[in-house]
Amino acid sequence: MPFFFPEHAQHPFYGTFYGRLSAVERGMVLREFIGVTYRRRFQFFNRYRFHHPQSAFKNNLYLAAQRQDRRFCIRRRIWRKKQLLPAYLKLIFRHYVLGFVVQMIRKRHARVLPTEPGCYPDAPLILAALEWFAEHEPELEALIEKQIAQVLAEDSRHLYLYCLRAFYITRQLCDTLPLQAAVTRSLRYRIGGQVPLGAELEFSNLGHRASFEHSFGRHGQDQPFRNFIYFHQFFLEDVSWRLGGYLDHHVRLRRYLSVPWIGGFFEYNLVRIDYPRRYSLPLTRDPGFLARYIQRVVAFNRCVAPHSLHLNVECVDQGALLVPQLSDYLCLLLLGGDLTVDDNGRLCERRFARNELIKMVQQRRHESLFDHIHHLVTEYAFLRLSATRGYDDWLSLILALAGFNRVSDLGRYCLEPLGDLLYWAHQPQALAGQEIESFLAKVEQGMLADSSLDKVLVQCHLRRLRHWLERQNARLT
């Protein structure tokens, strides 16, 4: 058989199914299986000195597939942990199916999906795939469960076989359930925008206790994932590459490297596009697109509870900037923090009160893959990720942060008053009306500076923000 078909795939199901695939479809399977290696293929080939004078690209892909197939085999000692397998295999299958849907949409509908200069090119395809995934979740869930049962019965440990079965699911559904409706729906949420945006989403069933200092030796509190201490043994980083998946174990000196038997947060870093993490790209300039993207990613990773969100906003030259006040940071916490009742029945802002945060706001320089320029980006790291927030909630929050970022001098005054914020988090007091109005005036100034946004929409979301702040502030009185 052409392309790549290993010896351990000689089971009648795989041979029959693969034999019916067209050359294009076999190429799709190969690309999805190689994953990150295919995206970074020229770096990979140079590193391993792969070269053939004839048909170099095709032969090098075959060699890369051979290497990946040898590596992507779950070890026997991990496979014996039968209680873990269904949950981890479900994550693998869901990500493979998502990747194939992205490829199907690119092949059939890419021309109607707009790309934004300087932003992640695949983002519109992925959102459309996430829309399709959400629409057909029951059918997908049933088919994935059936394929996992087959894999367990066969005692199959190779991810190449999972990839083939995932394509079997995708091909079966995409031929009967059209993609066009999902593509059209993904376009409805665009509102325009000029400021590059990105996001990082953390998931954990243990919440703040997933970090190393809280979880070591207590992984069993999270069943069945065991705080993702087997994340790398199931190759989830390679499988979830389209969403920038990796394990954030909060061991700072080895942040992007595997640390055996240390779990952490399953994170989607939507601004990273290469696994050495040298480059990054904004996801979009459109706040509406990003709001829907966040909502759909949370729904997609339904097996793991959402925990926190980092929103990245590129700094745009705006001339004279305003110095942020303590009340501005408190308004941000009212909008995006975690104001809730503690175990003693008192209101608190949990992210600060439980020492989850080192900083609320920090600035970094991200090097773009396209222009190789370091862009100044503000990272808002205090946001609680929630599955209950709807599209309008996320959109209002993103517009508020982008507007506030545009007019605030965070470069010189990015060291927020942490002591005051920590004290307030334990004993939150209501803000004065003029403090809320001052914050909203800054947000409005920044939102109106983006000429591509509809002014009626801006005023609508300013009203929503005012109501949101007043409602949260009333809880403190």
Residue 42 vs residues 27, 39, 103, 363: alpha-carbon distances, Å: 18, 8, 21, 32
3-state secondary structure of 382: strand
Distance CA 71, CA 76 (A): 13
Question: How far is it, in rounded angstroms, from Cα 71 to Cα 155?
Answer: 17
Q: What is residue 69's predicted lDDT score, i.e. its pLDDT?
A: 92
Alpha helices in 188-227, H assignment, sequence order: 212-215
Q: b/e per residue, 63-81, with b = 16+ CB within 10 A?
A: bbbeebbeebbbeeeebee
- Phi then psi for residue 173, to 5 deg, are -80, -40
Q: Which helix (H) or strand (E) holds 47?
A: helix 41-47
As a whole number of angstroms, the distance between CA 16 and CA 20 comes to 7
pLDDT at 324: 92
Question: Which run of H or of E encompasses 245?
Answer: strand 245-248
SS3 state at 85? helix
Alpha-carbon distance 178 to 138, whole Å? 16
- Residue pair 98/133 in contact (Cβ under 8 Å)? The answer is yes
Instruction: From first to last of the 477 residues of the chain, give the pLDDT tens digit.
Output: 567 899 888 888 999 999 999 999 999 999 899 887 655 554 545 555 555 444 455 667 788 888 889 999 999 999 999 999 999 999 999 999 999 999 999 999 999 998 898 899 999 999 999 999 999 999 999 999 999 999 999 999 999 999 999 999 999 998 778 899 999 999 999 999 999 999 999 999 998 888 766 656 677 788 899 999 999 999 999 999 999 998 987 666 455 566 666 788 999 998 766 545 567 889 999 999 999 999 999 999 999 999 999 999 999 877 778 889 999 999 999 999 999 998 888 899 999 988 888 789 988 888 887 787 888 999 999 999 999 999 999 999 999 999 999 999 987 755 678 889 999 999 999 999 999 999 999 999 999 999 999 999 999 999 999 999 999 999 998
pLDDT reported for residue 52? 47
What's the pLDDT at 369? Answer: 73
Let me know: does 331 contact 431? Beta carbons within 8 Å.
Answer: yes
pLDDT of residue 277: 59
